[in-house]
Amino acid sequence: MPNVTVDGTEIEVPEGATVLQACELAGKEIPRFCYHERLSIAGNCRMCLVEVKPGPPKPQASCALPATEGQEIRTDSEMVKKAREGVMEFLLINHPLDCPICDQGGECDLQDQAMAYGRGYTRYDENKRAVTEKYMGPLIKTIMTRCIHCTRCVRFSEEVAGVDEIGALYRGENMQITTYLEQAAEHELSANVIDLCPVGALTSRPYAYEARPWELKKTLSIDVSDAMGSNITLCSRGREVLRVLPRINDEVNEEWITDKARYQVDGLQRRRLDKVFLRKRGKLVEGSWDEAFKAIAKAKPGKSIAAIAGDMVDCETMFAAKALVKASGSDLVESRQTGMDYPTGNLAAVNFNTSFAEIENADAVLIVGSNLRTEAALLNVRIRKAVKRGAKVFVVGPEWETTYPAEFLGDDVSVLGKLPKAVTDAFKDAERPALILGAGGLAAGAYDSALGLVETLGLVKDGWNGFNVVHTAAARMGALMLGFAQDGGIADIAKAKPKLVLALGADEVDWEPFADSLKVYIGHHGDKGAHAADIILPAASYAEKPGSYVNTEGRVQFADKAVFAPGDAREDWTILRALADALKVKVGFDNFAQLRAAMTEEVPALAVEGLADYGSLPKTGKAAKAEGKIAYPIADFYLTNPIARASTTMQRCSAELIHGEDVREAAE
Amino acid sequence: MADRAPAPDTPELRERWGGFVWTDENAEKARTFVSRYPEGRQKSAVMPLLDLAQRQVGAETNTQGWLPLPVIEYIAEYLDMPVIRVLEVATFYTMYNLAPVGRFHVQVCGTTPCMLRGSDDILEACYKRGMVKGSTSEDGLWTLTEVECMGNCATAPMVQINDGNYEDLTPERLDAVLDALAAGKQPKEGTQEPGRHTSEPSGGPTTLKEMVDANHDYRSEW
Ligand code: SF4
Ligand code: FES
Ligand code: FES
């Protein structure tokens, strides 16, 4: 490991580190525009110049220079200061300096670094260059005159997203960043370039001119639009969440989030349930809490009560519901809304055991019934990394557009019983083989045969568990940990014909078999569940309550409350608590702390942030034969949940990117 | 150069060029170009292939040739690479024409050495014949572009017309070249200075004179 001296202090840096990294390790700030930890090195902005000896007698780009033994690096010399001022001056030559009307203002690298390292005036008085706006779709707003050609956006789409669509046309002063023929950027992670762009060239279209960063309250939260549990920051002003930004968590979402996680929040303002509603003579009419509770009590459910949880609810809500159901003497709780009924006795068998961070090291991957791009786009990014490192990928299921070379084996689960030789060979040689079973596979009944492959393909090795399940619902793993499941799935509940069904934000349930039950919907959006309900109790969305979530790799994470729920809406657990009083049962908690304490007593793993331990995989006998065509659960990536369906931004994305409507003009 | 932009993507353009495929002869050439690069690196052939395509379009339209968007897409597909990457290459190098050009693409060098040696007069001579910078003459014969240094500074001023360089120009010599081309003849390429062969010093060598006939070791004289 080389030893270098930075501004007079000697430090040891890891093998392969760059001079820039060495300076950072020594606690020195190096200004930069093009360099980004998660992208390849471009070395084209020259902002990171430092003085290095031995070497040519001129400043050098530290981001692209390897640190070697005995280097003497200076970041504080006159040469460096002048170099930075010079680069800054050049960068600003063609920059419009329109900060007062720029959405990046207040969080702009160019602005900050011009303040810290620039000269404060320019000697350039020729005409500036201007570049026409480039259309990049409904999410990315472009003001290309501001672009400083760092190519971060180009590198992101090529390297991380794996969808080569942004490029740099022309050369020199005429260089322009654009997509081919200004087509919309069309992948699930496209809006991450907005965060990457160090200037205001790529900004958020839905958030345009909404707020300045210093006006926003920032709340740490967890994304619920898929089961990845991406770490996010909710930026709110008053009662409104204005935007969502990713938080860095290398174990989970690295530095990215999906477009849905980022942009569904405008749905939090629309189609909200902010009043109590009761169905009277077939019509839902406004009512009071009192009326609603009386009506529920009048149904006299007694033991005949069930709860069905939706895809986005937190553990606390589910626990409160289960406590209520249990206190009434029933155990009818279920979270797999769409009717799946795979066994849930052993949680390791329904968990992503390899962990997201480790899956990058897999060398053979078999995906069964999952379109990762729509179901877990950030996991797909990891698989792409694995492929870049040499992994072979096979997919069982209908074809989808992978962002890496993959071989499709057919769309029937029966393939698992007679895997082609190419697959078995690849797995035989693999040191870290992985199987990824998706919701489509589970629904098609691949659970047993997939588990059977643990033996056959040797998925479990010393220090490596290659059996993985990818869920699509943020609530799923938490629900399973809380025992929110029946052996026969939702069919069991229907069979029991409960008098009272509590639907906790459950919007994908087929309500047909529950025609005789009193259906009480506790949720936040007037979507499918509310339409079917007899009584609607308005509750809080994920942004409006604190809560715990468990992602598909069994990682327990906590989210904070960013804003208050609108109108009469209450946090879910308070509704369930009040309902307990109405039904005259005792649930054993009166406040949130007590609720949490009771929950973690029952499921201790929920008390600790991090990966829960589910023990080892169940022993299986002979691989069971299964048959069934796989269908993916997600038809429209942008409209998978009630919040997204209410969001104008997501609707527009769906119309333009999925259904190919040309809404470009209409938007301007 | 600033006004370079791909010809707009219109239905007519698609109609005219959408069906572009290599001619048999060019298909053979394309295969050769691709085979020059190692397995998995076929993309490296993008530059020769773009040039080949431009020439094929040229042959079809009796011009120097250019690259319509459908042709760029054809190359992308041929090399299995994202079309934006091909467009990046095509827009980077000025030798790829992004819009239709005439029979002869007159590229006048205007960089400092040529300018000092009279490139303004050369341009003037072009204007006199009715050429306009950045556009094609009505008879479809000439397209005029001003370009940067072509590496012929020793024989400045110069113009490049399609594949030939014409150097040591004066307005009269340029006229002679252009007249010949217009008449369907092939004028002599290279220097137009009588008695000069290539870029050797005119009027005989002025330095390293001892080297003319035999090798000479100058080191002792330094
Ligand atoms: S648009 Fe932004 S990210 Fe892309 S090259 Fe320009 S400055 Fe960099
Ligand atoms: S950060 Fe080093 S050149 Fe841009
Ligand atoms: S300056 Fe004209 S060829 Fe070099």
| Closest CA of chain B from A74, distance in Å | 36
Contact status of A171 with chain B (Cβ, < 8 Å): yes
Ligand 3 lined by B118 (C-beta under 6 Å):
no
Ligand 3 lined by B169 (C-beta under 6 Å):
no
pLDDT tens for each residue of A264-309: 999 999 999 999 999 999 999 999 999 999 999 999 999 999 999 9
Could you tell me which of A488, A480, A519, A543 has the C-alpha nearest to residue A218?
Answer: A543
Dihedral (Cα; A618, A619, A624, A630), 10-degree rounding: 30
pLDDT at position A663 is: 60
Q: Which residue of B has its CA nearest to A165?
A: B84
Nearest to B91 among A166, A170, A179 (CB): A170
pLDDT at position B34 is: 97
Enter the ipTM.
Answer: 0.90
A539 residue type, one letter: A
Q: Which residue of A has its CA nearest to B81?
A: A164
DSSP per residue, A294-353: HHHHHT--TT-EEEEE-SS--HHHHHHHHHHHHHTT--EEE--TT------S-GGGGSBT
Q: pLDDT category, A660, cuts 50, 70, 90?
A: confident
Return the biggest CA–CA distance within chain B.
Answer: 72
pLDDT tens for each residue of A311-341: 999 999 999 999 999 999 999 999 999 999 9
Structure tokens at A318: 């589910």
Among protein residues, the one whose CA lies closest to atom 7 of ligand 1: A147
pLDDT at position B3 is: 66
Ligand 3 geometric centre to CA of B191 (Å) = 13
Contact partners, residue A5, CB within 8 Å, separation at least 6: A11, A71, A72, A73
Q: B85 and A169 in contact by Cβ < 8 A?
A: no
Q: B83 and A180 in contact by Cβ < 8 A?
A: yes
pLDDT tens for each residue of A622-650: 556 788 899 999 999 999 999 999 999 99
For residues B140 and B132, what is the distance between their CA atoms, to the nearest angstrom? 12
HSE-CB for B166 with a 13 A CA cutoff: 26
Beta-strand pair A500-504/A518-523: parallel
pLDDT at position A519 is: 97
For residues A346 and A614, what is the distance between their CA atoms, to the nearest angstrom? 8
Is the pLDDT confidence value at A112 over 80? yes
Which DSSP state fits A616? P
Sheet containing A364-368: give its strands across. Answer: A407-408, A392-396, A364-368, A433-437, A467-469
Is the pLDDT confidence value at A193 over 60? yes
Let me know how many helices (H) and strands (E) chain A has, helices first.
22, 29
Is the pLDDT confidence value at A399 over 90? yes
pLDDT at position A621 is: 60
Average pLDDT score over residue span A378-383: 97
DSSP-based three-state secondary structure for A433: strand
Among protein residues, the one whose CA lies closest to atom 6 of ligand 1: A147
pLDDT tens for each residue of A170-183: 998 899 999 999 99
Q: A167 and B88 in contact by Cβ < 8 A?
A: yes
Ligand 3 geometric centre to CA of B153 (Å) = 4
For residues A530 and A278, what is the distance between their CA atoms, to the nearest angstrom? 11
For residues A156 and A463, what is the distance between their CA atoms, to the nearest angstrom? 32
Spell out which residues of chain B touch residue A164, defining contact as CB-CB under 8 Å: 82, 84-85
Helices assigned H by DSSP within A5-131 = 19-25, 78-93, 109-117
Phi, psi of A144 (to 5 degrees): -70, -15
Ligand 1 geometric centre to CA of B35 (Å) = 36
Is the pLDDT confidence value at A667 over 50? no
For residues A237 and A246, what is the distance between their CA atoms, to the nearest angstrom? 18
Q: A167 and B1 in contact by Cβ < 8 A?
A: no
Q: What percentage of chain A has pLDDT greater than the value 90?
A: 95
Q: Are the C-beta atoms of residues B97 and B108 closer than 8 Å to each other?
A: no
Mean pLDDT for chain A? 95
Helices A592-602 and A315-327: crossing angle in degrees, nearest 10, is: 80
Average pLDDT score over residue span A138-166: 96
For residues B195 and A327, what is the distance between their CA atoms, to the nearest angstrom? 110
| Closest CA of chain A from B88, distance in Å | 5
Angle at B207 between CA B205 and CA B208, to 5 degrees: 100
Atom of ligand 1 nearest to the CA of A168: 5
| Closest CA of chain B from A172, distance in Å | 9
Atom of ligand 3 nearest to the CA of B152: 3
pLDDT at position A668 is: 42
Contact status of B85 with chain A (Cβ, < 8 Å): yes
pLDDT tens for each residue of A566-625: 999 999 999 999 999 999 999 999 999 999 999 999 999 999 999 999 999 998 765 567
Ligand 1 geometric centre to CA of A49 (Å) = 20
Atom of ligand 3 nearest to the CA of B149: 4
Query: What Å distances lie between residue B165 and A167, A230, A528, B151, B169, CA to CA?
Result: 33, 61, 73, 10, 11
Average pLDDT score over residue span A106-127: 93
pLDDT at position A626 is: 81
Along the 222 residues of chain B, how does pLDDT read in single tens digits?
446 889 999 999 999 999 999 999 999 999 999 999 999 899 999 999 999 999 999 999 999 999 999 999 999 999 999 999 999 999 999 899 999 999 999 999 999 999 999 999 999 999 999 999 999 999 999 999 999 999 999 999 999 999 999 999 999 999 999 999 999 999 999 999 998 999 888 778 888 888 888 899 988 887
